[in-house]
Amino acid sequence: MAKEMSRIGSSEGFQPVSLKREEDDQPSETDQLSMEEREPETEVPVPKQISRLPSVVESALYPNPYHKPYLSRKYFVTRPGVIETAMEDLKGHITKTSGETIQGFWLLTEIDHWNNEKERILLITDKTLLICKYDFIMLCCVQFQWIPLSAIYRICLGKFSFPAMSLDKRQGEGLRIYWGSPEQQSLLVRWNPWSTEMPFATFTEHPMKYTSEKFLEICKLSGFTSKLVPAIQNTHKNSTESGRGKGLTVLTEPILIETYTGLMSFIGNRNKLGYSLARGSIGF
């Protein structure tokens, strides 16, 4: 017994024992991967950094992360040089016809009294609000609507509203400009979808607002309003015309679009028929 205890107490009995299991002697999968990656010194893959690059570039080019760039290419107005050509055409036309100074240029969407969307260019001069229907495919102006600033007496800002029984409602906010009384219009004018005699115009922001910084500036409804209101006020102040009491009223209230079934606007707006849009090849 003493001999056995002496053996245990001797240095021979204390051998260093590894706590690893036998299966731990084999390199783990992560160790093998790290060894394989370290063998070729020239190849150092960084998958995490590469995967982040597309999202960083996308957020830098397109401020709205939900905007898909391939959709913007369908709109002719976003193609290189198109909006600049339209601006030069309209500047030349105003110089020849009235000689007034242009104070601003905007690209907005007009919403008519039947809830149809229409792509429009708006210009503010010293005395006039110009609403232009421009063909961005043929690069020519199709229709002008001249509205004297002195005739505008009310501006409404707010969310769109519809009758309770309406089947085609839209979300969002808009701006409505009045230069006449809607109550004085006949039923034939009010219920005619092609009527151009409505004494008001309704606008909202263009869907290509977030395409670039340039379009963000000219498609912003707040920027248009901030220029339009003081221009009208200055015109009323300097106007010598008699008649209706001068002054501009700016209200914040819902903008009523009095449509019920809305079948025409449902088809037109879903297919963007009011925009100059590439609609694909027809031939073979």
User: Which amino acid is it at 89?
Assistant: D
> What was the pLDDT predicted at 125?
95
> What was the pLDDT predicted at 240?
64
Q: How confident is the model at residue 241 (pLDDT cuts 50, 70, 90)?
A: low
Q: Tens digit of pLDDT for each residue in 191-231?
A: 777 777 889 999 999 999 998 899 999 999 999 999 999 99
| Residue 12: pLDDT over 60 | no
Domains of the chain as residue ranges with CATH: 69-271 (2.30.29.30)
| Residue 58: pLDDT over 80 | no
Greater confidence (49 vs 75) lies with 75
Q: Tens digit of pLDDT for each residue in 60-91?
A: 444 454 456 667 788 999 999 999 999 999 99
Please give the angle made by the CA atoms of 109, 226 and 91, to the nearest 5 degrees. 65
Greater confidence (56 vs 101) lies with 101
Interatomic CA distance for residues 243 and 238, integer angstroms = 14
Considering the entire predicted model, what is its pTM?
0.72
> What was the pLDDT predicted at 91?
94
Greater confidence (243 vs 115) lies with 115
Average pLDDT over residues 44-73: 49
Average pLDDT over residues 251-262: 90
> What was the pLDDT predicted at 63?
45
Q: How confident is the model at residue 145 (pLDDT cuts 50, 70, 90)?
A: very high
Greater confidence (42 vs 115) lies with 115
Q: Percentage of the chain surpassing pLDDT 70?
A: 71
Average pLDDT over residues 272-277: 93
| Residue 242: pLDDT over 80 | no
φ/ψ (deg, to 5) at 249: -110, 125
Q: Tens digit of pLDDT for each residue in 151-198?
A: 999 999 999 999 988 887 899 999 999 998 877 777 777 777 777 788
Q: Percentage of the chain surpassing pLDDT 90?
A: 50
Mean pLDDT, the chain, whole residue set: 79
> What was the pLDDT predicted at 264?
86
Residue 83, token pair as written in the block: 């909006």
